Amino acid sequence: MKFTKKAIALVAGLAMCMGLAACGGSRSGSASSDSSSKLEDGATIGISMPTKSEERWNKDGNNLKKKLESAGYKVILSFADDKPAQQNSDIENMVNNDAKIVVVASKDGTAVGPAVEKAHDAGAKVIAYDRLIMNTEAVDYYATFQLEQVGVLEANYLIDKLGLKDGATGPFNIELFTGSPDDNNAKYFFKGAWDLLQPYFESGVLVSPSNHGGGVTKDFTVDDWQKISVQSWKAEQAQKDMESILDSTYANGEKLDAVLSPYDGISQGIINAIQSKRPDMVPGSDTWPFITGQDAMEIAVANISKDMQGETVFKNVNDLADAVYDMIIEIAKGEEVTGINGEFNNNKIDVPSKLLDPQNITKDNLSDLVSAGYITQERFDELTK
């Protein structure tokens, strides 16, 4: 009798496990759905952005919210004020309000794990937006840009401007910065750039004479990226770091040829420091360094037009919002998610990913931002006049 009961329980357990198709072990993210998972009309969608203090996250969050509300969905949009604990609380609030899909641009890709696990346990689909959520199986999809390509575009700009492919021998003085140490994307940005720049350090054509981050030499590796990082991507921290570099290494008229900056806000901090510490450096002349950036912020548009910043990598957040919107609609209809063209491992699973192409923007094609609908002609004229 006991054996029979145990056997029945075992069979029932196996049947349940097969029905759920998720019994133990790590999983590889699935890019499929079915009609039984269709959402009701007017379902709630949660969108969690990391901060309101940066221009792009306001655009990202509000673009997606507007599109989803136009399609009839209820949207909870929150901004975490750069605080991981706040973001976790925001996501839990979305779960408590019966959010069926939760879109998360994480402040800290690891710290947000417990909150998305609660969302997943409650039956919600989780989409990592632009920043991968790490060390958890509770991520269904990831949407971002080709991350290493961002660094490739930045490095190639510097290589071109310094004439390295044409045989220039320098040595050229360059200082390097990476993004926030709690943002997994920052490593990929740097890898794309460092893979191209490291051989020039190896040959001695590029040198970083300061001791920033303990010193960047030919032996510096991608895994060392956090040594030259800027917490929370803050302009203020970048300015402080750059002022220290200038005071220690460039205080007596030494030439600074280039700065690898991964983000327009950091670029602004670098520009502020140069203007404060080295007023003899003049934008538009050979005394001013080539400076990179990312995100095509309004301040970058102005800086590029005034020869203070050389380039920015444009990641059209309108396109990213469109891509995630399409993903949400397909999930809501119980359809297979289309456009998956890659995967990223978050140390637990391979997350199915939709990867978009970034674009290099310099003074020569600055108006492409208007053509793309990213900025109005009127605002463009105000920034560039």
Structure confidence by residue, pLDDT tens digits, 269-315:
999 999 999 999 999 999 999 999 999 999 999 999 999 999 999 99
Q: Are 71 and 211 in the same domain?
A: no
pLDDT tens profile 172-185: 999 999 999 999 89
Distance in angstroms (rounded) separating the CA atoms of residues 113 and 106: 9
Amino acid at 84: P
* Cβ 84 vs Cβ 111: under 8 Å: yes
Note whether 306 and 280 are same-domain residues.
yes
Query: What's the residue count for the chain?
Result: 385
Decide if 39 contacts 99 (C-beta within 8 A). Answer: no
The tally of domains found in the chain comes to 2
- Predicted TM-score (pTM) of this structure: 0.82
Tokens representing residue 52 in the block: 């309101």
Q: Which amino acid is at 171?
A: P
Distance CA 321, CA 64 (A): 5
Q: At what angle do helices 113-121 and 84-96 cross, to 10 degrees?
A: 10
Asked if residue 373 and residue 301 are part of one domain, the reply reads yes
The residues near 116 (Cβ < 8 Å, ≥ 6 apart) are: 91, 102, 104, 126, 133, 136, 138, 139
Using pLDDT thresholds of 50, 70 and 90, give the confidence band for residue 56. confident
Q: 343 with 231, same domain? A: no
Same domain, yes or no: 333 and 372? no
In sequence order, which residues have a C-beta less than 8 Å from that of residue 231 and are 6 or more positions away?
180, 181, 182, 237
Residue 324 in domain: yes
374/359 Cα distance (integer angstroms): 13
Per-residue pLDDT of 344-355, as tens digits, reads 999 999 999 999
From the list 50, 67, 130, the residue with the least C-alpha distance to 294 is 130
Residue 114 belongs to domain with CATH number: 3.40.50.2300
Q: What is the pLDDT of residues 319-349, one digit of tens each?
A: 999 999 999 999 999 999 999 999 999 999 9
Please write the tens of the pLDDT for every residue from 62-89. Answer: 999 999 999 999 999 999 999 999 999 9
The answer to whether residues 345 and 298 belong to one domain is no
